[in-house]
Amino acid sequence: MKLVILTGAGISAESGLGTFRDAGGLWEKYPIEQVATPEGFAADPALVHEFYNARRANCLTSAPNAAHDALARLEGTLGNDMLIVTQNVDDLHERAGSRSVWHMHGALNRAKCAVCDHSWNAPAKMHPDDPCPDCNTAATRPDVVWFGEMPYFMEDIYDRLHRADLFVSIGTSGNVYPAAGFVQEAAAAGARTLELNLEPSLGASSFDESRNGPASQIVPEWVDSLLRG
Ligand code: APR
């Protein structure tokens, strides 16, 4: 069975990492345009680095929860027939043992050069005047996809969605495209679709089935039911 799973901030909420649009979420504290757009970075790179340095530190002190662990367990059975496409920039899927994880919005633990596009493992803290290890220009940035930028792996993601038997969306509000449109892509190609989220997302009605509750509870329950066959 070919499975594509999309995850969002909700799967990492119980690991202590903030979501974006829940009460008290990140976008209430930091204006998106200041910390998650190329224009914001150009205007105040120090503020943007401060924002991602704080999220990187928060990520280091967090741990995968039972939902991440359950998906790693499922991959142990399904192997290469399973793919996780995550909107998250944390590395909790990898730390839980998942191997096939595509970060469509980039990753906190990666850095890149805004001039030569070289990318490398990010240090714990980044600063505007850090030189690029390759071209030496002081133009380093988090390797995170900002609003207005093209997400990674899109062609390959659509290819996997079109070949999936099952598409499962976990912990995402369905606010942001192109991820919010994946359910339609998968359904149009004949996949069954399931949403696992704390509450019905904006796109809940597009799914064949929608189960609500905390990810650390409903994801392991779903994985166990799948593995029982
Ligand atoms: N268990 C399951 N779902 C949860 C939990 C939980 N414990 N806590 C919150 N949720 C759900 C919320 O109900 C919400 O639907 O997770 C979702 C989080 O939604 P957002 O905060 O919008 O996060 P996400 O959907 O990942 O945002 C997508 O937007 O800002 C950009 O690039 C950013 O990748 C992000 C993208």
Residues 110-130 pLDDT 10s: 999 999 999 999 999 999 999
Range of the domain at 167: 1-15+64-105+151-229
Q: What is the DSSP string of 1-48?
A: --EEEEE-GGGTGGGT---SSSTT-HHHHS-HHHHSSHHHHHH-HHHH
Are 26 and 9 in the same domain?
no
Are 185 and 204 in the same domain?
yes
105 a catalytic residue: yes
Q: Ligand 1, atom 5: nearest CA belongs to which residue?
A: 10
Contacts for 89 with CB less than 8 Å, ≥ 6 apart: 55, 103, 105, 106, 107, 108, 142, 144
Are 98 and 190 in the same domain?
yes
Question: Are 180 and 151 a contacting pair, CB within 8 Å?
Answer: no
Q: How far apart are CA 18 and CA 24, in angstroms?
A: 8
Pairing of strands 101-103, 3-7: unpaired
Whole-model pTM?
0.97
* pLDDT range class, residue 138, cuts 50, 70, 90: very high
Residues 9-41 pLDDT 10s: 999 999 999 888 888 888 888 899 999 999 999
Give me the pLDDT at residue 152, please. Answer: 98
Are 178 and 207 in the same domain?
yes
Are 125 and 182 in the same domain?
no
Question: Please, is 61 exposed, middle or buried when counting C-beta atoms within 10 Å of its C-beta (0-12, 13-18, 19+)?
Answer: exposed
* pLDDT range class, residue 228, cuts 50, 70, 90: very high
Q: How far apart are CA 187 and CA 149, in angstroms?
A: 26
Residues with CB under 6 A from ligand 1: 8-10, 13-14, 19-22, 25, 87, 105, 171-173, 175-176, 197-199, 201, 214-215
Residues 178-225 pLDDT 10s: 999 999 999 999 999 999 999 999 999 999 999 999 999 999 999 999
Are 23 and 46 in the same domain?
yes
CATH number for the domain spanning 31: value is 3.30.1600.10
Are 114 and 93 in the same domain?
no
Are 166 and 118 in the same domain?
no
Q: Ligand 1, atom 28: nearest CA belongs to which residue?
A: 176
Question: How much distance in Å is there from the Cα of 171 to the middle of ligand 1?
Answer: 5
Question: How much distance in Å is there from the Cα of 118 to the middle of ligand 1?
Answer: 30
Are 96 and 37 in the same domain?
no
Residues 141-152 pLDDT 10s: 999 999 999 999
Pairing of strands 119-121, 106-113: antiparallel
Question: How much distance in Å is there from the Cα of 47 to the middle of ligand 1?
Answer: 23
Are 213 and 174 in the same domain?
yes
Give me the pLDDT at residue 169, please. Answer: 98
Residues 51-107 pLDDT 10s: 999 999 999 999 999 999 999 999 999 999 999 999 999 999 999 999 999 999 999
Q: How many domains does the chain have?
A: 2
CATH number for the domain spanning 77: value is 3.40.50.1220
Are 96 and 165 in the same domain?
yes
Q: What is the DSSP string of the chain?
A: --EEEEE-GGGTGGGT---SSSTT-HHHHS-HHHHSSHHHHHH-HHHHHHHHHHHHHHHHT----HHHHHHHHHHHHHGGGEEEEE---S-HHHHHT---EEETTEEEEEEEETTT--EEEPPSS--TTPPPTTT--S-EEEEEPPTTSPPTTHHHHHHHHHT-SEEEEES--S-STTGGGHHHHHHHTT-EEEEEESS--TTGGGSSEEEES-HHHHHHHHHHHHHH-
